[in-house]
Structures are given as structure tokens and as C-alpha cells.
Amino acid sequence: MVGSDVRITVLKKLGTGDVFEKYASKDMTPECTVMKSDKEYMSKGMQMPEGFCSWAWADIQRDVIHLSLGGDFPWIREKGIMISCCTDGLRPVVFKLERL
């Protein structure tokens, strides 16, 4: 079984304010510089899209695979959708995953 393609859209880049100020090294920026807001990526064959952050992929891969294989998430209103997040504690990024 090959599975469905999954579109990954960067919904929002979050700042952590005082947590960032207290713990980030001086050369860090307060928002992720790799992911761009509203940028779309396509996962084909459950593979990481070209140009996608490998750290973020490690966090959302299980959700992409679940959607690709036909699974849904009962706490999400619409079937075939998941809202997932990179777990960078200083500069998290929120993604919308859509089974196509």
C-alpha cells in the first residue's frame, strides 16, 4: 500500500517570550528561521518533503503516516486533517496536515 499524499502547511510560528529570553543562546533568533509562514510542502509516499526541516519532520512524521494510511483523529472536526507541531521548546511551529 502506497498511501495518500499529505499536504503540510506552515500555519503559525510561535514565540515563547520570557522562556526564550531566559534560555536561548545569544546567537538565536526568537522565531524559527527555517520554516516560512503559509509555505506548503507535499509528503509523497510518507516521505519527508524536500527542503523540510528534519527536526520538525521527526515530530510530525507519525501524524503524516497516520493520515496517509487513511487514519483520522477524533478530536479534529474534519476527517483527513491534523494540526501538529514541531516541539522546539524555544521556537515551535504549528502545521496543518491534509490527506489528499
pLDDT digits (tens, 9 = 90+) for 11-55: 999 999 999 999 999 999 999 999 999 999 999 999 999 999 999
pLDDT for 91: 95
Comparing C-alpha atoms, which of 64, 74, 73, 70 is closest to residue 8? 64
> Within a domain: residue 1?
no
Give whole-number Cα distances, 57 to 48, 78, 88, 93, in Å.
Answer: 7, 22, 12, 11
pLDDT for 1: 60
Q: What is the grid cell recorded at 18? A: 520570557
Report d(CA 61, CA 45) in Å as an integer: 12
**Structural domain span for residue 65:** 6-99
pLDDT digits (tens, 9 = 90+) for 55-89: 999 999 999 999 999 999 999 999 999 999 999 99
Q: Is the pLDDT of residue 96 over 90?
A: yes
Domain count for the chain: 1
Whether 91 and 14 have beta carbons less than 8 Å apart is answered as: yes
List, in sequence order, every residue forming a beta bridge with 6; answer none if it has no partner: 43, 99
